[in-house]
Structure 1
């Protein structure tokens, strides 16, 4: 979130500052720091009418507050704080369309604190109040989402000029209120939590709300169709997501709380997560085999719960599932992809197929019998034609024989000594390509081929591929090869023996 930009025309500037056309002409001559006009960013160069000058509303409004002659026209919370004043008081909680709020009576009027970081919330709330002919609330503050020098950063909009937002200081508001102001971490910034707070009270202890992904996983774990291993995998990921969510709240509280203590800002943490039930138990690395077995079953399942859980796992950590990089290649053109497709077996769709086919018109579902990878063939949509959608394998099957060649056809393909062809193995977070990458060299493909030349059935690793891939192989894949080019084993071995070129 940030301060939304408002542009004012010359007429609107005159209305804001209450000056005539002549007074407007004099302003930059009397005040060297008067904001300069600018061209409206939405004006198009081919418009027949020249662009009328506009002023940045925030810059102008803050300038007015800093200029004695126009201070009474400027941003309310950027003006000097009144000297003789009584301590403000808490007026309680308010429900608003823009989020939960608390009102504070001060010497300059009522300040409404919106406990949200939604962009434009301060201005929208101020516009509503102005339209209701509000006589009490003089300014609305929303959270910027960051930390300022005197406390959480604020965005403010005055009801006198509700369309203009500006940055405000937490410390200024606290001085006007006469006490420390409450702050809630993001996930506890909820009406039922905020309305419990009173000045001087201890922090409210509240549960961190459950996230949708966690609900999906726990619902699936209760499905009796899944084995113990699958339920363990589902519960373990749900616990991980839960712990991460609660840890995020704890971290936010620590960051803002430590800042307040270090700089002695007038801020109190108004809500605390319930620490009694945290963290939830998660499995250790020695249980990886159980998790792998569970996720393999889930990905192969056909239940709606399996589909939903597989989708969550792929979004959270694709390494949980036994699938490599999502890949798509054009179908129906002959060549290496059609040769590969002849061995595919038609099957009923699984959860893994569903994640491949999401949003696509599907012609059929397949499984590669040699690698177990799910494959989808889409219908001809008239634009791109039919496509093969699949996950790259993580390794080639046992007894495939040596790598014979690499073929470049939308991705990298491998032919082996036993006469088979496979999409080259690839980890979920990487991709295989060739040609000029505008400065990014195809070291992933080079590193995969380098490993397969020595051990065609190894489990592929792409960690530090940019430093581990042989320079000669990387240079070979960096060339602009014609689609369908076949690089023989001899060419690949020769390339990886070449030293890095000197520059």
Structure 2
């Protein structure tokens, strides 16, 4: 055997022509993720038979031969190095081993003649770990097959394979048909919103699908708990329940969509997948079901509360909705030492009781709670002196616009001398110096404020006069101050600021 010559070809599953490659000792070692000396010893001791030779007396193996041989020798514990497509078809249904709890996932497990197959179901909490980490949990010795049900859902739910015996290079693609072929069953499927440990643990082969409440990755519990602190017909309770209903309806719709795609897909056969759970229907809900004035009043009252539950609700509301119905919603970080306008604004801030509105900005008890007396907007001061302010969606100003300062944030000065952070919508931010949504929203805001200082922040990014769009897409230096006349001229496309560089000024001199 020592006189034989062997080719070593570097290969990976998925490369073009992979199936037709001729593997020497080194390539077999790379394929199985073992030392070359180990493969040599297998050949030396006739554990790995020489399978093919060519005209030049080169001995070689095909990938299929190597993988089949590996699965036929379970004592070598190589199953965790073989992709699922090479596993043998089941002669009968695989033995169901039950479930295993992982970090933020549950695994359903089956025993086949080739090894244990673990299917990983990430839970409906919106958080996931890496497939490599999960594989190490479910297969600490690196054997068996590990299959992850992913979040991808185009023609049907996708799955990814992982080789626990080759953790540094273990990802590969597979499909439900291969998994069903290896297990000899239609694989049970839980839509993402129904991946709840108790449902997966309770499943047994042959069980009919259960109907269960679809859970969103967003916990609506705090909303319902806070609603319970008000009388049932109180407007604040109705607003809180309405948002909880919307969150849960969205989870139901996502689960129902998955069911429909599975039943209608031309790419999935009934013997590939079977539904393990169906979603319990939840009626639709929308914030427009409640009068907007009533909604704003309700959220104002919740913001003013000082209990921890109200703080949790406000953080949840900001995450789900962005704060559409809040008087001041978007948070902006301001360093008062960076400009005279920031210093002027910061000088009028007053200490106040800490409320849910402050915790929504920065939930840390060691920050100082402040308020802007002109807008009643919440502000917190961090330990390093940085301020985080809730930006009003509209200004309660009594005087018209006098000038606009292109700073961070954009500032407004009214004719009575008061400085204000420019109002902004809960969704669109304000910026300038390029073609994009921020400059588009700023151009619309200028157009509105020239006519009405109490106009709300721009809820769109298109439609401003062309002159204002030119202005806000220009890279104006930070600290640029434009008067009302300047802005009005820009709106009429009669004004465009021109700035000279230091070199140009020297040339003029």
Structure 2's unaligned 5+ residue stretches are: 20-25, 35-60, 71-80, 123-127, 497-509
After superposition, where does 1:55-454 map in structure 2 within 5 Å?
Answer: 66-68=63-65, 71-73=68-70, 75-79=82-86, 81=88, 86-97=91-102, 99-106=105-112, 108-116=114-122, 118=129, 119-120=131-132, 123-125=135-137, 127-130=139-142, 138-146=144-152, 152-157=157-162, 164-209=170-215, 213-223=219-229, 228-259=234-265, 263=269, 266-275=272-281, 278-279=282-283, 284-285=288-289, 287-317=291-321, 318-332=323-337, 335-359=340-364, 362-363=367-368, 365-369=370-374, 371-379=375-383, 381=384, 386-397=385-396, 400-434=398-432, 436-437=433-434, 442-454=439-451
* TM superposition shift of 1:293: 0.9
2:467 match: secondary structure: helix
Change (3 A) 1:492 1:267: same
Change (3 A) 1:330 1:66: same
Counterpart check, 1:489 vs 2:495: no
Change (3 A) 1:20 1:499: farther
| Contact 1:122 1:156 (8 Å CA) reproduced | no
**C-alpha separation between the residues in 1 aligned to 2:211 and 2:328?**
42
Change (3 A) 1:244 1:155: same
* TM superposition shift of 1:186: 2.2
- 4+ residue segments displaced more than 6 Å: 18-21, 53-61, 438-441
| Contact 1:89 1:106 (8 Å CA) reproduced | yes
**C-alpha separation between the residues in 1 aligned to 2:478 and 2:401?**
20
* TM superposition shift of 1:23: 2.2
Change (3 A) 1:339 1:125: closer
* TM superposition shift of 1:388: 3.5
| Contact 1:220 1:305 (8 Å CA) reproduced | yes
With normalisation by structure 1, the TM-score equals: 0.74
**C-alpha separation between the residues in 2 aligned to 1:34 and 1:192?**
43
With normalisation by structure 2, the TM-score equals: 0.73
After superposition, where does 1:43-58 map in structure 2 within 5 Å?
Answer: none
| Contact 1:300 1:351 (8 Å CA) reproduced | yes
| Contact 1:326 1:392 (8 Å CA) reproduced | yes
1:9 aligned partner:
none
Change (3 A) 1:56 1:211: farther
| Contact 1:184 1:271 (8 Å CA) reproduced | yes
Change (3 A) 1:59 1:165: farther
| Contact 1:368 1:375 (8 Å CA) reproduced | no
**C-alpha separation between the residues in 2 aligned to 1:388 and 1:340?**
11
